[in-house]
Amino acid sequence: MLRSTISTWREYLTPISHKSTFLSTGQITPDEFVQAGNYLVSMFPTWSWNGDISPDNISARDFLPPDKQFLVSRKVPCLIRAQDFFNVDYNDELDEEEDTPNETSADAPANSTNTNSQDNNSIQDIDEMLQSMDVEDVEDNDDEVITTHNTADQTKRYYDLYIAYSTSYRVPKMYLVGFNAHGTPLTAEEMLEDIALDYRRKTATIEKLPFLKTPVLSVSIHPCKHANVMKILLEKIRSVNERKRMESKPDEEVDNDQTTDANTDGDNDWQDLQEDVNDNLRVDQYLIVFLKFITSVTPSIQHDYTMEGW
């Protein structure tokens, strides 16, 4: 709890920055957090601002609008424990999808002083992550997971997911509050069972939700590496977009229809995110990428349930 207390004080003492640097640093400002939250809510109705929580129960921060203090998605399914997720014999695509992000986070540097070799390893892992995160594959695999794991009530859990803004790291911060199948809150030890082992040891923190006045126990994902991972992801998406744009130019001169087919076939590059982008990801799409990264931290929590239709 000492770590949680220090973190809380740091959040309130760190000055707010309004300078946009998300493409170069992976960090976002409070205004950009609101933009990204608005986009998330508009695209995926399972997410909402402040949920149904009474304003009287919210410890509001004045640099955010009163009605947009944090994002909530409730009752997200979790059918098995994190360590069991990797022991199940799914198809090869699912294995690649969930194994690769864990390698990415383990290699991702925590700050700008890390070595170039660490950056290169992270970039290679993220390259694999992008290839494995094809939307259609994820949706198909989710159906298979649900079919394969029609588990008993004792293993079924649900999570309320909260995304708040971290002033000390200038990135979103994820909080998880778990319940069993009967709606009873999970203990801290039980919630940690749904965190991937690498993160459980290094970045998972037990703390009360800092933005609520009523004490609610949660597991938070410490955001110390978020900016670096997001920076690498954003740079990778930019380079992929630029390459695709350059490759499409000769095709456009021949046949626009053929170009469309060529861009569609064989690309696992988050097509839905890139339809409206030339070279750079828009800042309002930041949380979409962030949530895809969080799936590596909590692989058995069905985050795609919160993004149905993506």
- 227 by Cβ neighbours in 10 Å (0-12 / 13-18 / 19+) ranks as buried
More confident residue, 307 or 183: 183
pLDDT of residue 92: 44
pLDDT of residue 263: 45
- Distance, in Å, from the CA atom of 68 to the CA atom of 209, rounded to the nearest integer, reads 16
- pLDDT tens digit sequence for 253-281: 555 554 444 444 434 444 444 444 445 67
Q: Please, are residues 121 and 107 in contact by the beta-carbon 8 Å criterion?
A: yes
- pLDDT tens digit sequence for 32-50: 999 999 999 999 999 999 9
Torsion of CA 127, 45, 161, 85, to 10 degrees: -50
* Token pair recorded at residue 221: 């994902």
SS3 assignment for the chain: CHHHHHHHHHHHHCCCCCCCCHHHHCCCCHHHHHHHHHHHHHHCCCEEECCCCCHHHECCCCCCCCCCCCEEEEEEEECCCHHHHCCCCCCHHHHHHHHHHHHHHHHCCCCCCCCHHHHHHHHHHHHHHHHHCCHHHHHHHHHHHHHHCCCCCCCCEEEEEEEEEECCCCEEEEEEEEEECCCCECCHHHHHCCCCHHHHHHCEEEEECCCECCCCEEEEECHHHHHHHHHHHHHHHHHHHHHHHHHHHHHHHHCHHHHHHHHHCCCCCCHHHHCCCCCCCCHHHHHHHHHHHHCCCCCCECHHHHHCCC
pLDDT of residue 13: 62
- Distance, in Å, from the CA atom of 80 to the CA atom of 155, rounded to the nearest integer, reads 6
Quick check: 215 pLDDT over 80? yes
Q: Please, are residues 255 and 208 in contact by the beta-carbon 8 Å criterion?
A: no
- pLDDT tens digit sequence for 133-155: 443 333 445 554 444 445 457 79
Reported as a pLDDT band with limits 50, 70 and 90, residue 229 is: confident
Active-site residue, 78 included? no
Mean pLDDT of 8-32: 83
Could you tell me what percent of the chain has a pLDDT over 90?
44
- From the list 295, 304, 270, the residue with the least C-alpha distance to 140 is 304
- Distance, in Å, from the CA atom of 133 to the CA atom of 121, rounded to the nearest integer, reads 18
Marked catalytic residue, from 16, 135, 146, 224: 224
Residue with tokens 């695509």: 93
More confident residue, 82 or 91: 82
Maximum Cα interatomic distance, the chain, rounded to a whole number of Å = 64
- Distance, in Å, from the CA atom of 192 to the CA atom of 190, rounded to the nearest integer, reads 5
Quick check: 212 pLDDT over 90? yes
Amino acid at 184: T
- pLDDT tens digit sequence for 158-209: 999 999 999 999 999 999 999 999 999 999 999 999 999 988 988 899 999 9
More confident residue, 306 or 61: 61
Give the predicted TM-score (pTM) of the model: 0.70
- Distance, in Å, from the CA atom of 215 to the CA atom of 163, rounded to the nearest integer, reads 17
- From the list 207, 120, 105, 221, the residue with the least C-alpha distance to 169 is 221
Quick check: 31 pLDDT over 60? yes
- Distance, in Å, from the CA atom of 209 to the CA atom of 175, rounded to the nearest integer, reads 7
Residues 6+ apart with CB under 8 A from 116: none
- Distance, in Å, from the CA atom of 225 to the CA atom of 200, rounded to the nearest integer, reads 14
